[in-house]
Chain A
Amino acid sequence: DGGITQSPKYLFRKEGQNVTLSCEQNLNHDAMYWYRQDPGQGLRLIYYSQIVNDFQKGDIAEGYSVSREKKESFPLTVTSAQKNPTAFYLCASSVWTGRTQPQHFGDGTRLSIL
């Protein structure tokens, strides 16, 4: 079955620690995205990538980093510079065309501070 796999489902971060969230897709989608969702708020775009070895900052990129070495993979690192990391993190992918296409989501990672 094609889809997007995020891991882990739950993650706990200690003070000063960097953590990496995994996102893998086998949909052959060009574009991948990372969002965070806080209670009562919409999804906010952290980073996105249209193509391998290229990525762009979204609206709230500070304190996060990404890489896109393979088409299938788009890991997100939450660094110690992100002072309020507790949130629901969602990875998505889509076909990249001249017209915006709907995005398909993984089932998310819940990150909490210890």
Chain B
Amino acid sequence: RKEVEQDPGPFNVPEGATVAFNCTYSNSASQSFFWYRQDCRKEPKLLMSVYSSGNEDGRFTAQLNRASQYISLLIRDSKLSDSATYLCVVNFSLGFGGNKLVFGAGTILRVKS
């Protein structure tokens, strides 16, 4: 089983649609969660951190379900500029006090006019 799993998509949606991505992770001890956005042939950029109580940033809402070990990202009122790959990122303990971030393979979103 992969440490962080995402539906690869692609999700093809019209402008204005609401779209949701889910991500599952295997390490129940994980403490930090993030969503990154990666445009084609570019570096990943932090979209938002994910907090236990859920958090919102404009049209983007992130949720965390620790019991089920999944994270979600909801995008409302999709824009053409939202087209990108969305990476789910989770920290994993390295066993000696250190941590590392593990990246999912990403979910492709295509917003069409």
Chain A: interface residue total (CB-CB under 8 A): 22
In the bound complex, residues from chain B placing their C-beta under 8 Å from that of A56 are: 94, 98
- A-B residue pair count with CB separations less than 8 angstroms: 47
Query: Which secondary structure dominates where chain B touches chain A?
Result: strand
In the bound complex, residues from chain B placing their C-beta under 8 Å from that of A103 are: 46, 101
Partner of B49 from A35, A58, A90, A102 at Cβ < 8 Å? A102
The reply to whether A42 and B99 contact each other, CB–CB distance below 8 Å, is no
Chain B: interface residue total (CB-CB under 8 A): 24
Q: Say whether B73 faces chain A, with CB atoms less than 8 Å apart.
A: no
Q: Mark B1-36, 1 if CB is under 8 A from A, else 0.
A: 000100010000000000000000000000110100
Instruction: Give residues of chain B (81-111) contacting chain A, Cβ–Cβ below 8 Å.
Output: 87, 91, 94, 98-106
7 contacts across the A-B interface (CB closer than 8 A): A40-B8, A42-B4, A43-B103, A90-B43, A100-B32, A102-B34, A105-B44
Chain A residues in the interface with B (C-beta under 8 A): 35, 40-43, 45, 48, 50, 56, 58, 88, 90, 99-108
